[in-house]
Chain A
Amino acid sequence: MGYKKQDIFVIMVFVLAVCARTYVALQTDYFNDDQSYFALRQIEHIKEKGTPLFKDLLNQREYYSLPTLYYLLTGFSFLLPMNIVAKIILNILASSSSIIIYLISLKLTRNRTASILSSILSAFFPLYIGETTNNITIYSVAIPLLLLSLLFFYKIDSQNHTPYGFLTSLILLIIFSQISFLFIFGLLCYSLLCYIEKIRQSKEEIEIIFFGFFFFLWTNFIVYKKAFQVHGIRMIWQNIPSGLLQHFFFKIGILEALYSVGVLPIILGIFVVYQYLFKKKSQQMYVIIGLLIGTFILFWFRFVSVILALIIMGNCLIILSSQAFKDIMLYINKTKISSYKNILLGIIFTICLLTSILPSIWYGLSSLGDVPNNVEIDAYKWIKNTTDNTAIVLTPFDKGILVNYFAERPNVIDYNFLSFSDANLRFNDTETMYSTQYKISALSLLNKYSIEYIYLDQDIREQYNISAIKYIDDNCFDQVYSKESVKVYRVLCKQLTTK
């Protein structure tokens, strides 16, 4: 299929998405979550030393992660300022998923109009926008790579051509992110579906899935070897403390799913899944359905977080909904209302606007509420300018990296749970140190972790449902910083140690 005028719409959608994202991202100088600041630390370390921050001298810990994203961003940062790289380049990469979804839908449906609608839904996928607009996150690169791998998977043919496109995208996906496991598991589910439906898979497909599986296994065991030895099978759950598992793997309600993915993709996508599982047969559809089912299974057994599961399944449903669009338009063409086709398209577009585009904008703008405010940043900077280099600062896990980045001080716990052999214990102890009313047990824990400063802001008060830290008194604590809702306390009392 050659290029047509309609393809220009796709480019326009892409440009519109980039502009919208960039507009939102540039509303603030900061990022939404601490993972972005961890990425910044990694990038700074690579610029300085040439290697990622595997052994962190600040926190005295080792980190386990695939560093490819950090190298990519470091490369860009030599050409452009880091802010531009993080806020614009990443948004361009994230938005490219709309073009890829258009191409996949086109391959499946051979209908440009239906594919353009999918592209719009993808460009304005509310949850994906909320997670990637103002964050330095692997999802911005990994999701487009996963979709690209899917696109190239469709191009594998049986004419003995080496599928370089698919191999390249798959290898890139594997070296960029552990999301590759979702893709490979999805392909395995696809193989199972073909087996059940007695569809013969091509040799090339089987060989590629086989190669992909082993390459994934090999890469991840090399990178995470030590983490596997320390944490064993818990490594698969990222050693997340049991108290936080609910936070990452919560069961989502239908309404919330509808809002975060979009009404049209969910309804139409599920309808297509039903059609092709129970009524029709299509090997091409089974690839997407396999990925959808695989992701759902992994989510159900808590191997992937709800956010990631919704993003992947949402993209699958968006692709599948293109088939539904095509079927709807074909049906309309056969009926008496075919002359009103354009009005109906307009109605569909309006529904898209109301259920995908507007929620995306809302998601994007509301995500800015998670950005650390100037008052908090000032407190971290005060800590940096006033305290000893080695002074450990107590914060909950979601602010640990902010302490490292802004205050340049060690933390007690952060989201890199794989770095701790006692993540569960640290998480619980942090909760105790904030919420207990007993000074002795608090001091015992503060001394155990050699904490010198306690940071308290409004988020922490809400998180632990406290108005203040109850055990703080003048004998053992000194309020060294106070501005609006942010306070910093210095720990004065050291309990006698047993040595």
Chain B
Amino acid sequence: MKLRQEAKLIILMLLCSSILLIPHVVRKISNPNPIGLDTYYHLRSIESFKQHGIQREDNLIFGSRPYKINIIDLVMSLMPNTSFLVEFLPFFLGTLSVFLLYLILREVEIESNTVFSIIVVLIASPIFIYSFTVFSEIPFLVFLLFLATYLLLKNRYIVSTLILCVLLILNIQIIPFIALLLALYYKFERGKTNWRLLVAAVIMVALVVSTRLNSVSELFSDLSLKRFIADFGSELGFGIFGLCLSSIGLLYSWKNKKEYYIIYLTLLIFTPIVLVIHEFIIFLELLLAYFAGIALAKIYNRKWGVSILKTYSILLIVCGLMFSSISFIDREINFPPYKEEILSLNWLKSNSTKDDVVLSHYKYGYLIQSVSERSVVADKIYFLTSKQKTRINDVNLIFNSRHLEDAQNLLNKYNISYIWINGAMKQGEVWRRDDEGILFLLSNSEKFKRVYEYHGVEIWSYEK
């Protein structure tokens, strides 16, 4: 049965909406807090703009630092009901992005079944689900990039250019993607490759990567599959079925490699930047979804020797794609923060003073800053932007220390008043045993006093 274009679009929109809504709806049953620790960076930023306007210094990090103004947070602070918007906007932008992508793919004259397949694979990918359920810059960047692309294809150059400028203001690191987009557009419109754009993109990627790393070898320091494959436990990773399909699509496309080489180059150029800025993996996923969609469409359109196998194979692939998504959603519903963590931080807010500094794993920096409004030693911004990572090393030394004097020196250095520990930290994130490192000191030294404990979350006060 051949579906009309409109019917296909409606199916895609409904599928997208359902997949993006389910994590929020199911999570709300047991945990009212938004998904993802990084969301709290934005919540805190929005709240700070609302209360204090644009600040120069961020005082919620030990020693303070220049405030990193996020334009999106600034705009959000002008809107009402931001806690609702923080959860609604990624979903809304995701749905719109899918709509725009559909229009773009139809505009570049890709066959209808292939377009449908590409978008299904994309929607089902864990990367897409995460990117459009957790509040961050990514939904905005993707949506604006799609909008600019569509307007470019419709020859609305001025508006498109304006949108690209907005993109650059939001995040300058997206510049290589813009260069590659323009290269792809040039190839589509003129049938030729604009090598200058590609070279420019390579240079920009090199610049972005170099600002993040101390050496080239750091680029390859964490290539573990656990970081990149959602089915192996990654929070922001590819689905294994999508990857297999993409590989098949790449093999299919190799027969017409002259037509596709610019996309191969784009894939190659994207990869280093994704290794450094993991959130940009969504752009890599877009390209891989394209190849996966080609593979799926070819499998569907092919004349099979054993017809029953065609049905079962397609069913298997679709089930496999859905399996990756469902499995990921099942995990995402239980992503931090947890109720007990929020409760503990609210308690900390009420039972400590504004000058108190809290020690914890840098991963929880945003959460502590946002909920308890207390300074931390290190947060994710510090982790990502600091080349030496001195504080991260010092925090690790404190966590692993069994020598009171050594631990005290570092605790005093950062003027720490409280230590916040959650279940994940005790179950392998930092420690594996109950008496490992500073946990031994906490229980055996009078300098530390457990002032809060609830469902695996502990807060210890430290007396200098």
Bound CA–CA A209/B224 (angstroms): 29
Contact (Cβ within 8 A) B439 A211: no
Q: Considering only CB atoms, which chain B residue lies closest to A158 in the complex?
A: B305
Q: Considering only CB atoms, which chain A residue lies closest to B320 in the complex?
A: A218
Interface residues of A in 417-458 (CB under 8 A from B): 421-422, 425, 448
Contact of B233 among A204, A218, A230, A422 (CB under 8 A): A230
Q: Considering only CB atoms, which chain A residue lies closest to B440 in the complex?
A: A498
Contact string, B203-232, partner A, CB cutoff 8 A, digits 1/0? 000000000000000000000111001011
Residue A405 lies at the interface, judged by CB distance under 8 Å to chain B: no
Q: Considering only CB atoms, which chain A residue lies closest to B308 in the complex?
A: A162
Contact (Cβ within 8 A) A207 B305: yes
User: Hey, which chain A residues are within 8 Å of B323, CB to CB?
Assistant: 218, 221-222
Contact string, A158-169, partner B, CB cutoff 8 A, digits 1/0? 101011000100
Shortest C-beta distance, A239 to chain B (Å), equals 13
Contact string, A180-204, partner B, CB cutoff 8 A, digits 1/0? 0000000000000000000000111
Residue A341 lies at the interface, judged by CB distance under 8 Å to chain B: no
Which of B40-48, B62-70, B342-350, B427-435 is the contact stretch?
B427-435
User: Hey, which chain B residues are within 8 Å of A208, CB to CB?
Assistant: 306, 309
Residue A499 lies at the interface, judged by CB distance under 8 Å to chain B: yes
User: Hey, which chain A residues are within 8 Å of B224, CB to CB?
Assistant: 232-233
Contact (Cβ within 8 A) B327 A202: no
Shortest C-beta distance, A209 to chain B (Å), equals 11
Interface residues of A in 202-222 (CB under 8 A from B): 202-204, 207-208, 210-211, 214-215, 217-218, 221-222
Contact of A218 among B229, B319, B435 (CB under 8 A): B319
Contact (Cβ within 8 A) A425 B432: yes
Known contacts A422-B432, A499-B443; is-contact A207 B232 (Cβ 8 Å) = no
User: Hey, which chain B residues are within 8 Å of A374, CB to CB?
Assistant: none
Residue B313 lies at the interface, judged by CB distance under 8 Å to chain A: yes
Contact (Cβ within 8 A) A232 B225: yes
Contact (Cβ within 8 A) B309 A207: yes
Question: Contact residue range for chain A?
Answer: 20 to 34
User: Hey, which chain A residues are within 8 Å of B306, CB to CB?
Assistant: 160, 162-163, 204, 207-208
Residue A225 lies at the interface, judged by CB distance under 8 Å to chain B: yes
Contact (Cβ within 8 A) A214 B320: yes
Contact (Cβ within 8 A) B327 A214: no
Contact (Cβ within 8 A) A214 B244: yes
Contact string, A219-236, partner B, CB cutoff 8 A, digits 1/0? 001100100111011010
Q: Considering only CB atoms, which chain A residue lies closest to B436 in the complex?
A: A498
User: Hey, which chain A residues are within 8 Å of B226, CB to CB?
Assistant: 232-233
Residue B444 lies at the interface, judged by CB distance under 8 Å to chain A: yes
User: Hey, which chain B residues are within 8 Å of A421, CB to CB?
Assistant: 428
Contact (Cβ within 8 A) B304 A215: no
User: Hey, which chain A residues are within 8 Å of B439, CB to CB?
Assistant: 498
Contact (Cβ within 8 A) B434 A217: no
Contact (Cβ within 8 A) A204 B305: yes
Residue B316 lies at the interface, judged by CB distance under 8 Å to chain A: yes
User: Hey, which chain A residues are within 8 Å of B316, CB to CB?
Assistant: 211, 214-215, 218
Residue B240 lies at the interface, judged by CB distance under 8 Å to chain A: yes
Shortest C-beta distance, A154 to chain B (Å), equals 16
Contact (Cβ within 8 A) B232 A211: no
Shortest C-beta distance, B225 to chain A (Å), equals 4
User: Hey, which chain B residues are within 8 Å of A218, CB to CB?
Assistant: 241, 316, 319-320, 323
Contact (Cβ within 8 A) B240 A207: no
Residue B447 lies at the interface, judged by CB distance under 8 Å to chain A: no
Contact (Cβ within 8 A) B305 A203: yes
Known contacts A202-B305, A232-B226, A233-B225; is-contact A498 B231 (Cβ 8 Å) = no
User: Hey, which chain B residues are within 8 Å of A221, CB to CB?
Assistant: 231, 240, 320, 323, 327
Most buried by A among B231, B240, B306, B323: B306
Known contacts A203-B304, A217-B240, A233-B232; is-contact A211 B312 (Cβ 8 Å) = yes
Contact of A232 among B233, B313, B317, B435 (CB under 8 A): B233
Q: Considering only CB atoms, which chain A residue lies closest to B441 in the complex?
A: A498
Residue B331 lies at the interface, judged by CB distance under 8 Å to chain A: yes
User: Hey, which chain A residues are within 8 Å of B244, CB to CB?
Assistant: 214, 217
Q: Considering only CB atoms, which chain A residue lies closest to B245 in the complex?
A: A214
Q: Considering only CB atoms, which chain A residue lies closest to B428 in the complex?
A: A421
Known contacts A230-B233, A233-B232; is-contact A211 B309 (Cβ 8 Å) = yes
User: Hey, which chain B residues are within 8 Å of A203, CB to CB?
Assistant: 304-305
Residue A475 lies at the interface, judged by CB distance under 8 Å to chain B: no
Bound CA–CA A448/B240 (angstroms): 38
Shortest C-beta distance, B115 to chain A (Å), equals 23
User: Hey, which chain A residues are within 8 Å of B443, CB to CB?
Assistant: 498-499
Shortest C-beta distance, A174 to chain B (Å), equals 11
Residue A497 lies at the interface, judged by CB distance under 8 Å to chain B: yes
Bound CA–CA A235/B232 (angstroms): 9
Contact string, B319-353, partner A, CB cutoff 8 A, digits 1/0? 11001000100010000000000000000000000
Bound CA–CA A217/B317 (angstroms): 10
Q: Considering only CB atoms, which chain B residue lies closest to A444 in the complex?
A: B435
Contact string, A29-69, partner B, CB cutoff 8 A, digits 1/0? 00000000000000000000000000000000000000000
Bound CA–CA A211/B323 (angstroms): 17
Q: Considering only CB atoms, which chain A residue lies closest to B299 in the complex?
A: A210
Contact string, B268-309, partner A, CB cutoff 8 A, digits 1/0? 000000000000000000000000000000000000111011
User: Hey, which chain A residues are within 8 Å of B433, CB to CB?
Assistant: 448
User: Hey, which chain B residues are within 8 Å of A422, CB to CB?
Assistant: 432
Bound CA–CA A228/B237 (angstroms): 13
Shortest C-beta distance, A443 to chain B (Å), equals 13
Q: Considering only CB atoms, which chain B residue lies closest to A203 in the complex?
A: B305
User: Hey, which chain A residues are within 8 Å of B241, CB to CB?
Assistant: 214, 217-218
A-B contacts, 15 of them at CB < 8 A, read A167-B309, A207-B310, A207-B313, A208-B309, A211-B309, A211-B312, A214-B320, A217-B244, A218-B316, A232-B224, A232-B225, A233-B225, A233-B232, A497-B435, A498-B440
What 3 A-B pairs come out closest when comparing CB atoms? A203-B305, A232-B226, A498-B443
User: Beyond the given A218-B241, A235-B232, could you list 11 further A-B residue pairs with CB under 8 A, ordered by the A residue number?
Assistant: A158-B305, A207-B305, A207-B313, A214-B244, A218-B319, A228-B232, A232-B233, A421-B428, A448-B433, A497-B435, A498-B439
Task: Write the residues of chain A forming the contact surface with B, with a CB cutoff of 8 angstroms.
Answer: 158, 160, 162-163, 167, 202-204, 207-208, 210-211, 214-215, 217-218, 221-222, 225, 228-230, 232-233, 235, 421-422, 425, 448, 497-499
